[in-house]
Structure 1
């Protein structure tokens, strides 16, 4: 599986990024993948490669490039519960500094870069995200509806910007929530807002999961829920993205 380490010019500097794409020479639909707060690391590279193996050019930018190249903070091979408090003490200032204005400036740069790659076919792209990346994916889809055909977010705080965000979507949407993040009542309210916005969507709680369930290098990992994530994501991309 071909991969590249790239530098994306942005309004505020250069964002390092990882890309994976099929070995075949033809063009493929583009997917912008936003990492969780721990950023680009082996598990994200593996997920990008797996998605690329299904026929997509996958771009994973370093969200916190303003603070240095990935990994911005030193990470253990396995992110256990005992390590999380110290890691989040370092990460939270970076997350708090990553304002909505920054998110959208960066999204313009990422989307422009992705669609200009010679391996990427013409037409709309998809955006996916995990944890805080799910929120960034949601903001990107709302701000750039003409460019985004599909939005998928997993264990992310997708509703924090309020229901008006959903009315801006033109993408088909899948939200996969952790059971620890969202009650059935909260899910009902979120889905009512999606209904009111006229969005084509699926939105569900993955049973028995906790926040971060897709990430195999954390204690939250749930192999069955990760497979469910692929079972939702791949058909969504297949329905919405045009093959070259």
Structure 2
């Protein structure tokens, strides 16, 4: 794996300044850019390690703290090992913060993340790829549908609420997506039940989006996150195979 160099950066947005993590191969050459959308637990050592692995595969990776309006990361104090079942107060605090990410704020922020990568010397010219986890999968789909000319690929893992009856449901943007899309749902995930999976698949198919949607059997919501009780090592490695394959096809 390529040596990488990561650093904390600040990204100017329309609503303030967001803290973020930027990592790239240490060769000083511009590389294809990946925007990594965090899960609800936010920018922390595990997500930096995931970004490092992507950078080691030859990419420049930006991981913004999408909760920056509520403070710099960590916005909510987290234990070293996260088990929401044992610590329900974590989601009690995160719930209102997550709800504050409206499609309007997501759009304004996505414009800032994409502009930052467009101007970043470590990022190669051209469209970027997206990968998102849990709520980040929703952000990835919204970004791909809102900025189709800037996104070449979009992946989402154990995402939730991707095809709801809400007027701002992400699946309603399928007709605007030009990127290749890969989505891997968690098995028995209450936030993404079979009905939503079918509705999302139908929307992507009807829109002619190049895509693949899979269910990782036996994997729980959050299966990629090694610092949580939901982690599934086999499913996480399957995710890496799928994601890196998508990036190879894209770049």
TM-score normalised by structure 1 residue count: 0.95
Could you give the per-residue CA deviations for residues 130-161 of structure 1, whole angstroms, max 9, x where no partner exists? 00111011100000000000000001122241
Q: 2:216 aligns with which of 206, 209, 215?
A: 206
Could you give the per-residue CA deviations for residues 171-219 of structure 1, whole angstroms, max 9, x where no partner exists? 0000010002245554333222211110100100001011000000111
Note if contact 2:141-2:170 (Cα within 8 Å) is conserved in structure 1. no
Task: Report whether the alignment pairs 1:189 with 2:192.
Answer: no
Determine helix, strand or coil for the equivalent of 2:159.
Answer: coil
**Which whole-Å CA distance do the structure 1 matches of 2:86 and 2:32 have between them?**
37
**Which whole-Å CA distance do the structure 2 matches of 1:234 and 1:60 have between them?**
17
Note if contact 1:187-1:204 (Cα within 8 Å) is conserved in structure 2. no
Determine helix, strand or coil for the equivalent of 1:2.
Answer: strand
Note if contact 1:6-1:19 (Cα within 8 Å) is conserved in structure 2. yes
- Closer, same or farther in 2 for the Cα pair 1:190/1:46, shift >3 Å? same
Determine helix, strand or coil for the equivalent of 2:107.
Answer: helix
**Which whole-Å CA distance do the structure 1 matches of 2:19 and 2:188 have between them?**
32
Partner of residue 170, structure 1: 178
Q: What is the RMSD computed on CA atoms of the aligned residues?
A: 1.3
**Which whole-Å CA distance do the structure 2 matches of 1:142 and 1:84 have between them?**
35
Determine helix, strand or coil for the equivalent of 2:18.
Answer: strand
Partner of residue 155, structure 2: 152
**Which whole-Å CA distance do the structure 2 matches of 1:22 and 1:10 have between them?**
26
Q: 2:110 aligns with which of 102, 107, 110?
A: 107
Between 1:126-135 and 1:177-186, the stretch displaced more is: 177-186
Q: 1:143 aligns with which of 141, 146, 161?
A: 146
Task: Report whether the alignment pairs 1:232 with 2:236.
Answer: no
Note if contact 2:163-2:196 (Cα within 8 Å) is conserved in structure 1. no
- Closer, same or farther in 2 for the Cα pair 1:205/1:97, shift >3 Å? same
Between 1:140-149 and 1:232-241, the stretch displaced more is: 232-241
Q: State the number of aligned residues.
A: 241
TM-score normalised by structure 2 residue count: 0.93
**Which whole-Å CA distance do the structure 2 matches of 1:183 and 1:9 have between them?**
37
**Which whole-Å CA distance do the structure 2 matches of 1:117 and 1:189 have between them?**
37
Q: 1:46 aligns with which of 42, 46, 49?
A: 49
**Which whole-Å CA distance do the structure 2 matches of 1:120 and 1:201 have between them?**
25
Determine helix, strand or coil for the equivalent of 2:224.
Answer: coil
| 1:92-103 equivalent positions in 2, closer than 5 A | 92-103=95-106
Note if contact 2:142-2:170 (Cα within 8 Å) is conserved in structure 1. no
Between 1:155-164 and 1:193-202, the stretch displaced more is: 155-164
Bigger RCO (CA 8 Å, 6+ sep): 1
